[in-house]
Chain A
Amino acid sequence: MKLARSAAAIAIAALALTACAPPTSNNAASSSDEQTGTVRVWLFSEVNQDPKSAVVKEAVTEFEAAHSGAKIDVQYIPVDSRAERFKAAFNDPSSAPDVAEFGNTDLASYVASGGLADVTEDIKSWDEAKDLDQKILDTTEIDGKNYGVPWFVGVRALYYRTDLLQQLGLEVPKTLDEVETVARAVRAANPDLLGISVGGAAQFSAMPYLWANGGEIATKEGDTFVAGLDSKESREGVAAYTRLLKDDICPAQTCAEFGGNASVQQFIAGKSAMTIGGDFNYKAVAASAIKDKFAVVPVPGKTAGSIAPAFAGGNNLGVFNSSERRTLAADFVKLLASKKYQQKMFDSMGNLPTFSDVQKSVAENNKQVEPFINTLGAGTKFVPVTENWSTIDAQGVFTGMYQKVVTGKADVNAATTEAATAMNTAFGAK
């Protein structure tokens, strides 16, 4: 009796399992393209929100005046919970916006989810598009199609303390090797200071070292990416970066856990002689106690006079696949991402523009952005544009590699081999 009952229960469970697959939603592109109505827009909320809202409001007014019957409804969403928001929007197209701002490293996974519309044609037919920085535009491209318009860009450069270097008679480093020797010299003279504050989890500070040494995170071969971390050049880059996280520069005990923000905080607090920080950190440094004692130069490359390729961070504007007002949405993207509004965003928020000519003109008029614009001009690089990168990132494969080396859990060869294997497994998941 008991046996029969459990057998029946198992049979029912098995039947249920094969009969109903887990829920999926239909995220096909919308067929309608209405010319009136409300276009819903998601933008990221900022710590200092007002200047951004003011510029966006101006764009909305201009857009609504030019498109009768169309309204723009802007919502500001927090950056921290963006993943849940976007996933929910992909799962339930009826609650999705038409236009959204998103980080460029998130683009590939959004495209893989079928959430973003192909805007290649919109960019082609847009007269301002020819001035877009090609390297930045490339970060929005998958299989020859663009899925977003770069709205602003963020790059990192080398911040250093002018007073400390002067006291010790040290020259501003002109190569990556000199960064290391200068950092060591400063700490030798001031044991309380970090020579350069970098972090085991600060992946965007580590990437220039990798690329300047000729290494690659991964290269595209046919349809898939192949990890390049275990090449001789990559290993040199990893070794060079991890040499900074030693007791005589930035002790692993302190620095192994630092992310990019934490390492810049050390510099702001006056506890380090140098750091690798972004253009977006400039305001905070310039408002700190060391405001008169620092300067910024591009992160140097292997040879004097060269610039290490920087990671091209930044945000895009894109159109949702499920939008029922595709043309209006794309028009609004083109307006908000136009030269005029990028200039306004720079003036109010300090966001670096994505048009080469606008970059040049802001650098001429604003000395403090020059090192960042020069870094952009020297050519930037990006993480592999594939949805698997967000998996790799979430699993901490790339930063884990550095942390294993600096904590002595593995040597450079073992750590890079292990990371490359983990990445190839992730790239292979289709």
Chain B
Amino acid sequence: MTALTPVLPEAPQGGTPAKGPTTAARKSQRFANGKRGLEPWLYLAPAFIVLIALLGYPIFQLINVSLYDYRQAQVSGKAPLNFVGLENYQKLFADPQFWTVLGNTVVFATACVVFTLLVGSSLAVLATRLRPWVRSMLFVVSLGAWATPAVTGSAVWLFLFEPTLGLVNKSLVAIGLTQFEGYSWTYDKWSAFGLVASEVVWCSFPFVLVTVYAGIQAIPTEVIEAARIDGASMPRIARSIMLPMLRPIVIVVTIQSIIWNFKIFSQIYIMTNGGGIAGQNLVLNVYGYQQAFAASLYGLGSALGVIMTALLMVITLVYLRILKRTGEAL
């Protein structure tokens, strides 16, 4: 076992050179030639310019707008533009609906992330043990789900779960579960969330499947073989060899899932008709749309956008931090 450890962190990162010596070399070079200080920035400039134009400016405007009382009347110049500072944020924090929506979002997104990862990873493991043609079938089918646009997927799921004519209810009634006759899946808050979550998992697990499968394939067979010769059991190999080697991939997939699932819009908007009965299925993104665009409260909507951005950054940072503390460097 011990003989293997030096190989582990590097292997999946695809040829990243060992860190120690290069950094030291770079440092000494930099000290030798003072003018080099600007050069890296010059190389980075194109990327920076694109980032600032496409990311920096919109975020700046988002924060900017969130500090104003900015509605349609102000945009079209009918009413004076007033700087209100943090008033939009105060309004949100004082509104019980905001906290309900935030709670909904956290529970809903967490469930989506957990189930997407579970389904995707289990299928990835399964895929490594299937015969090639079965595996190809699995990939084609799941790529089909992945390729389906969110709008189409949502509409199809709604058809399947239609109360009276949908395939699901008809099948359930056919096998004797008569209480599902005319059962509306979108009536109850959590059954509606469950329905949407299942659609979200359905259309996002293929990404996890493909990525994790590629990760498993990238683990050199010698490593596994060596472990086996050393007498490690299969669960032990999975826990002590495969999982650590898959770590970077799992991290990326998890962060992607968190970000995607916190930002779910189309599925909720379509499947619960804009937020469900009396707004019971609102999540932050749909709530933000409702406030900013439907109700033309651009300032308030922007504040929601800022909160959401900040929240996602914090979640991602905390997640990375926890991982860093529990394991080796990324």
- Interface-side segment among B10-18, B236-244, B292-300: B292-300
Contact B277 A200 (CB under 8 A): yes
Contact B77 A26 (CB under 8 A): yes
Interface centre among A21, A256, A390 (most CB of B within 10 A): A21
> Residues of B contacting A115 with CB < 8 Å?
76
B residues 171-198 near A (Cβ < 8 Å) are 182-184, 186-187
> Given A28-B77, A390-B296, A391-B296, does the pair A90, B72 have CB atoms closer than 8 Å?
yes
Distance A90 CA – B78 CA, assembled complex (angstroms): 10
Distance A16 CA – B52 CA, assembled complex (angstroms): 15
CB closest chain-A residue, reference B287: A395
CB closest chain-B residue, reference A426: B295
> Given A27-B77, A396-B275, A396-B279, does the pair A257, B60 have CB atoms closer than 8 Å?
no
> Residues of A contacting B65 with CB < 8 Å?
22
User: Is the CB of A350 closer than 8 A to any CB of chain B?
Assistant: no
Contact B75 A25 (CB under 8 A): yes
> Given A17-B67, A254-B184, A257-B187, does the pair A24, B277 have CB atoms closer than 8 Å?
no
Contact A24 B182 (CB under 8 A): no
Contact B295 A390 (CB under 8 A): yes
Contact A114 B77 (CB under 8 A): yes
User: Is the CB of B64 closer than 8 A to any CB of chain A?
Assistant: yes
CB closest chain-B residue, reference A404: B278
- Name the distance in Å between A173's Cβ and chain B's nearest Cβ: 26
Distance A13 CA – B275 CA, assembled complex (angstroms): 36
> Residues of B contacting A424 with CB < 8 Å?
none
Contact B67 A25 (CB under 8 A): no
Contact B77 A256 (CB under 8 A): no
> Residues of A contacting B63 with CB < 8 Å?
17
Contact A396 B64 (CB under 8 A): no
Distance A143 CA – B76 CA, assembled complex (angstroms): 20
A residues 375-430 near B (Cβ < 8 Å) are 387, 390-391, 394-396, 399-401, 403-404, 407, 409
Interface centre among A91, A253, A396 (most CB of B within 10 A): A396
Contact B81 A24 (CB under 8 A): yes
> Residues of A contacting B275 with CB < 8 Å?
396
Contact B78 A396 (CB under 8 A): no
> Given A17-B64, A256-B277, A396-B278, does the pair A387, B73 have CB atoms closer than 8 Å?
yes
User: Is the CB of B290 closer than 8 A to any CB of chain A?
Assistant: yes
Distance A257 CA – B290 CA, assembled complex (angstroms): 18
- Name the distance in Å between A100's Cβ and chain B's nearest Cβ: 15
Contact B83 A21 (CB under 8 A): yes
Distance A250 CA – B113 CA, assembled complex (angstroms): 38
- Name the distance in Å between A171's Cβ and chain B's nearest Cβ: 30
Contact bitstring A96-113, B, C-beta under 8 A = 1, else 0: 000000000000010011
Of the candidates B72, B186, B277, the one whose C-beta lies within 8 Å of that of A109 is B72
Contact A24 B74 (CB under 8 A): yes
A residues 65-83 near B (Cβ < 8 Å) are 83
Contact A256 B187 (CB under 8 A): yes
User: Is the CB of B61 closer than 8 A to any CB of chain A?
Assistant: yes
CB closest chain-B residue, reference A406: B277
* Interface residue tally on B, bucketed by range: 35 or more
Of the candidates B64, B81, B277, B291, the one whose C-beta lies within 8 Å of that of A407 is B277
> Residues of A contacting B72 with CB < 8 Å?
87, 90, 109, 112-113, 387
> Given A257-B187, A396-B278, does the pair A24, B163 have CB atoms closer than 8 Å?
no
Contact A400 B279 (CB under 8 A): yes
- Name the distance in Å between B96's Cβ and chain A's nearest Cβ: 10
> Residues of B contacting A83 with CB < 8 Å?
293-294
Contact bitstring A23-42, B, C-beta under 8 A = 1, else 0: 11111100000000000000
User: Is the CB of A15 closer than 8 A to any CB of chain B?
Assistant: no
User: Is the CB of B29 closer than 8 A to any CB of chain A?
Assistant: no
Of the candidates B68, B76, B279, the one whose C-beta lies within 8 Å of that of A114 is B76
CB closest chain-B residue, reference A259: B273
B residues 146-166 near A (Cβ < 8 Å) are 163
> Residues of A contacting B183 with CB < 8 Å?
253
User: Is the CB of B70 closer than 8 A to any CB of chain A?
Assistant: yes
Contact B295 A391 (CB under 8 A): yes
B residues 255-269 near A (Cβ < 8 Å) are none
Of the candidates B70, B163, B273, B277, the one whose C-beta lies within 8 Å of that of A22 is B70
- Name the distance in Å between A350's Cβ and chain B's nearest Cβ: 28
- Name the distance in Å between B55's Cβ and chain A's nearest Cβ: 15
Distance A387 CA – B273 CA, assembled complex (angstroms): 24
Interface centre among A17, A83, A395, A407 (most CB of B within 10 A): A395
> Given A16-B60, A407-B278, does the pair A113, B187 have CB atoms closer than 8 Å?
no
> Residues of A contacting B297 with CB < 8 Å?
391
Contact B64 A20 (CB under 8 A): yes
> Residues of B contacting A91 with CB < 8 Å?
75-76
Distance A139 CA – B6 CA, assembled complex (angstroms): 78
Contact A112 B78 (CB under 8 A): yes
Contact bitstring B295-319, A, C-beta under 8 A = 1, else 0: 1110000000000000000000000
Distance A91 CA – B71 CA, assembled complex (angstroms): 12
- Name the distance in Å between B248's Cβ and chain A's nearest Cβ: 27
CB closest chain-B residue, reference A401: B278
Of the candidates A13, A23, A394, A409, the one whose C-beta lies within 8 Å of that of B278 is A409
- Name the distance in Å between B261's Cβ and chain A's nearest Cβ: 24
Distance A21 CA – B63 CA, assembled complex (angstroms): 11
Distance A109 CA – B78 CA, assembled complex (angstroms): 11
Of the candidates A253, A390, A403, the one whose C-beta lies within 8 Å of that of B184 is A253
- Name the distance in Å between B186's Cβ and chain A's nearest Cβ: 7
User: Is the CB of A165 closer than 8 A to any CB of chain B?
Assistant: no
User: Is the CB of A252 closer than 8 A to any CB of chain B?
Assistant: yes
> Given A24-B77, A114-B78, does the pair A253, B182 have CB atoms closer than 8 Å?
yes
Distance A40 CA – B263 CA, assembled complex (angstroms): 40
Distance A183 CA – B267 CA, assembled complex (angstroms): 36
- Name the distance in Å between B32's Cβ and chain A's nearest Cβ: 20
> Residues of A contacting B67 with CB < 8 Å?
17
Contact B76 A25 (CB under 8 A): yes
Contact A394 B75 (CB under 8 A): no
> Given A26-B77, A114-B77, A403-B277, does the pair A109, B296 have CB atoms closer than 8 Å?
yes
Show 12 A/B contacts (Cβ-Cβ < 8 Å), sorted by A: A13-B60, A24-B77, A25-B77, A26-B77, A109-B296, A112-B78, A115-B76, A252-B187, A253-B184, A387-B73, A395-B295, A401-B278
Q: A21-B81, A83-B294, A403-B277 are in contact. List 19 more A-B contacts (CB 8 A).
A: A16-B60, A21-B64, A22-B64, A24-B74, A27-B78, A87-B76, A91-B76, A113-B73, A253-B163, A254-B184, A256-B187, A256-B277, A257-B184, A391-B295, A391-B296, A396-B279, A400-B278, A407-B277, A409-B280
Give the interface of A toward B (CB within 8 A): 13, 16-17, 20-28, 83, 87, 90-91, 109, 112-115, 200, 252-254, 256-257, 387, 390-391, 394-396, 399-401, 403-404, 407, 409
Q: What 6 pairs between A and B have smallest CB-CB spacing?
A: A114-B78, A394-B294, A394-B295, A403-B278, A90-B76, A400-B278
